[in-house]
Structure 1
């Protein structure tokens, strides 16, 4: 038996950032390692420039997610005005940029993607190098130091995370843990309200058999979502394993 900290994530808008190139800011369909570590760091009060605190989080926990619903994709279109680069001119604030002569102002077009009405379960466990305690993480999620949000500050949770510690024989059992319905409905009404799909996606780390001891139907890939330095926005790779299963057949 292994002790896990399990909690759920739901919001009308969430954005699980992926590699951004140019004007496009895409989102994954479920939170990766960087997003979960950022959420836990905010709950604990670990700042981005606290390299030691970030290291303890990065090295001390294992992470797995269950995508009950990816939600629907929404793309937000942006226009931003910025001054062109000029020799010997430095813009230190946004106010300085807006005070620049109109003739040197350029318009940048960009788009940001969000997931609408997504629902996810997260399971956390401690690694052998852990300097943290699941009890502390649970307490922090219940009474967070900083405001929690799902990827961007415009995406606060819209339901209690309902974190709890519990021992399970398998990681899959932890991800299949049940939670109270979001709006006091029964499970079937919740499924209809959120338009939950007929399949769920498990994503985890630690090996192909780590979910339930079975390698059947498992795929894997290298993902770059291990936060190495939050101040410089540097990330490293890890191996992620995934399996798709029919909803209702989790147990």
Structure 2
């Protein structure tokens, strides 16, 4: 039996950042390790420039996700005015930028992607070298030090995270725990109201058989979402395993 901290993530808007080049800011369909570590760090009050605190949190936990719904993709189109770079000119505030002469103002076009009404279950467990406790993480999620958001500050949770600790013999059992329905009187009404798909996606780290002892139908890839240095936005690779399961097979 392994003890897990399990909680739920839901919001009208969420954005799980991926590698971004140029003006496009895409989003994954579910949160990666960096997003979950950032969420827990905000709850604990670990600042981005606290390298030791970030390392302690990163090295203490393993993470798995159950995507109950990826949500609907929303693309937000932006036009932003910024002054051109000039030698010997420093803009210290946004007001300074907008006060620059119009002849040096440029317009940047960009797009930002969001997931609308996505729903995910997160399971966290301690690694052998853990320097934190699941109890401390649970209490932090119930009374966070900093405001929590799902990827961007414009994406606060739309429902309680409902964190709880419980021991399970399989990781999949932890991810399949039942929460109080977000809408409706039971799970079936919630499924209809939120238009949850027939399939659930499981994503985890460790080994291909760690989900439920069955390595069939599992795919893996290298994900560059291991936070190495938050101040410099440096990330490293990790191996992530995934399997899609039909809703009627979840239990």
Per-residue Cα deviation, 1:4-54 (whole angstroms, up to 9, x for no partner): 000000001000000011000000000000000000001111111111110
What is aligned with 1:13?
13
Aligned-partner SS, 2:146: coil
Partner of 2:221: 221
- Contiguous gaps of at least 5 residues in structure 2: none
Find runs of 4+ consecutive structure 1 residues off by over 2 angstroms.
Answer: none
Q: Which residue in 1 is equivalent to 2:71? A: 71
State the secondary structure of the residue aligned to 2:89.
Answer: coil
What is aligned with 2:32? 32
Q: List aligned pairs for 1:60-209, cutoff 5 A.
A: 60-183=60-183, 185-209=185-209
The Cα RMSD (Å) is: 0.8
| Structure 1 Cα separation of the partners of residues 220 and 120 of structure 2 | 20
* SS of corresponding position for 2:248: coil
Instruction: Give TM-score scaled by structure 2 length.
Output: 0.99
What is the deviation of 1:86?
1.2
Displacement, 1:250? Answer: 1.1
Preserved contact between residue 71 and residue 118 of structure 2 (Cα < 8 Å): yes
1:41 and 1:151 map into 2 onto residues whose CA distance is 13
Structure 2 partner of 1:237: 237
TM superposition shift of 1:184: 5.1
| Unaligned 5+ runs, structure 1 | none
* SS of 1:248 mapped into structure 2: helix
The 3-state SS of whatever aligns with 1:214 is coil
Partner of 2:124, secondary structure, is strand
1:145 deviates by 0.8
CA offset at residue 157 of structure 1?
0.6
Q: Report how many aligned residue pairs link the two structures.
A: 251
185-194 or 235-244: which moved more? Answer: 185-194
TM-score (norm 1): 0.99
User: How far, CA to CA, are the matches of 2:183 and 2:140 in structure 1?
Assistant: 24
